[in-house]
Amino acid sequence: MSTWKNIGPLSNIPVRGARRLCVKHLGKPVAVFRTGEDDIFALVDECPHKQGPLSEGIVAGRTVSCPLHNWVIGLDDGQALAPDQGTAQPLSVRVVEGDVYVYLPAALGAAA
């Protein structure tokens, strides 16, 4: 079943940083990122290269650098920047009255 999950106050996510969530999406960890401009993004917390924890990377602008091999991943769409290729699955996120919500969709092909 798809759901919007309240993961807590925006103030718990550091500016130019990330938090790995206790919730998982399809068995994979989820991370929420906050830019210097207070834009919020969510990705499955695995680099497409070697599954490094993106939540431990450096947030710069609208990207995060994987701490293992410095792959740069776009926070908007999860795409690795050239010349690297691959995608960290992006998830929808919203802020309502100071709380951050991440949308956890049901598995593709699963019964609704």
Per-residue pLDDT tens for 45-64? Answer: 999 999 999 999 999 999 99
pLDDT top residue among 88 and 1? 88
Both tokens of 35, joined, read 């830019």
Residue 111, in any domain of the structure: no
Is residue 44 in a domain?
yes
Residue 110 lies in a domain: no
Question: Is the predicted pLDDT of residue 18 greater than 50, yes or no?
Answer: yes
Range of the domain at 50: 3-104
Report residue 111's pLDDT band, with 50, 70 and 90 as the boundaries.
Answer: very low
| Torsions phi, psi for 110 (to 5 deg) | -80, 155
Residue 72 falls inside a structural domain: yes
Does residue 40 lie within any of the structural domains? yes
Average pLDDT, the chain: 91
For residue 15, tell me if it sits in a domain.
Answer: yes
pTM: 0.89
Give the separation between CA 18 and CA 39, rounded to whole angstroms. Answer: 12
CATH number for the domain including 52?
2.102.10.10
Q: Give domain status of residue 112, yes or no.
A: no
Q: Using CA atoms of 22, 75, 14, 52 in order, give the dihedral in degrees to the nearest 10.
A: 50
What lies within 8 Å, CB to CB, of 110 at 6+ separation is none
Distance (Å, rounded) from C-alpha 64 to C-alpha 74?
Answer: 7
The tally of domains found in the chain comes to 1
Is residue 107 very low, low, confident or very high in pLDDT (cuts 50, 70, 90)? low
Residue 50 is assigned to a structural domain of this protein: yes
